[in-house]
Structures are given as C-alpha cells and as structure tokens.
Amino acid sequence: MEWVQGEYLISDDPAKQDVPRVHAMLSVTYWANRRTPEVIATSIRNSVPFGMYHNGRQVGFARLVTDRATFAWLADVIIDPEYRGRSLGKWLVECVLSHPAAAVSLQLLRTKDAHGLYEQLGFARQECMTRRPNPADAWETADAPLR
C-alpha cells in the first residue's frame, strides 16, 4: 500500500526500505542504538515495514509485528530529526494503524516518550512485562526497553 501527502510518500513495500538509512536513524535512539544493519534487515523481513520518503530519500520508518488476527505491535517509529515538527510522525502512525495488517483486536506499543501523540491515536498507558531469555544477546539495555 502507499499513501501520499504533498511531497511525502509512505510505502509498506519491503523492497523500498533503505536499510543503511533506517540503521542510521535508529542508531541514535535509546531503544535500538545497538542493533546492527543485519538485525534491522531481518526485522524488516519479518514484519510489515513502513518507509516514509521525501523526494526519494527515506526520512521515516515504522514497522508492525502482527499475526494479522489477534495482535499488532507497533515498533521502531522514527522520523529523521531534520523532518520533525511537521506532524509526519503522526501521519506515519495513522497510516500504519489503517493498514489491513493492523485490523486486529489488540494494538500494542511500548515507549518511553511521545505519549501525547500515541494517546491522541487511542493508545492507553498500561503495565507491560518482558522477558529476555538471553540478556547478553539483547540489543536493548535494561534501562532502554524495546519499543
């Protein structure tokens, strides 16, 4: 699927994802700064990825991990710092949530920030439990949980 707004395009086409750009954007976040390009490429292959593009350059990213029946986990929402403050993140999340893969009974998100944005879109704060079978292999640190 594709969405267009002015000069911006959002696409769920995995082939359009610019893994080096996604890695660069995620490498400065608290939740994904230790992920390698290979891990990011694997995560894209195993989820529904959404890229945001401006004049062909990827400027945003999000992905949906879902069984397409009962749950969908919104993850890795990021907008290039040069493009923030233009409501592009909100539009990106709206597009992700409107995707058929998100038409499930429970949509999940875990984040330390942007609560106001996500609450506008119907998310509610709740407790979440996690388990790390092999903490040494975790890309995220204990104080920087998965998003």
The span from the CA of 147 to the CA of 77, in Å, is 8
Supply the Cα-derived Rg of the chain in whole angstroms.
15
Average confidence (pLDDT) per 10 residues, the chain, 147 residues: 97 97 95 93 97 97 96 94 95 96 84 76 75 65 46
Say if CB 92 and CB 62 are below 8 A apart: yes
CB-based contacts of 45, cutoff 8 Å, min separation 6:
14
Per-residue pLDDT at 138: 57
Q: For residue 98, what pLDDT is reported? A: 95
The domains of the chain, with CATH numbers, are 2-125 (3.40.630.30)
Burial zone of 82 (CB within 10 Å; 0-12 exposed, 13-18 middle, 19+ buried): exposed
pTM comes to 0.85
Q: What is the C-alpha to C-alpha distance for residues 85 and 136, in angstroms, rounded to an integer?
A: 36
64 token code pair = 């949906």
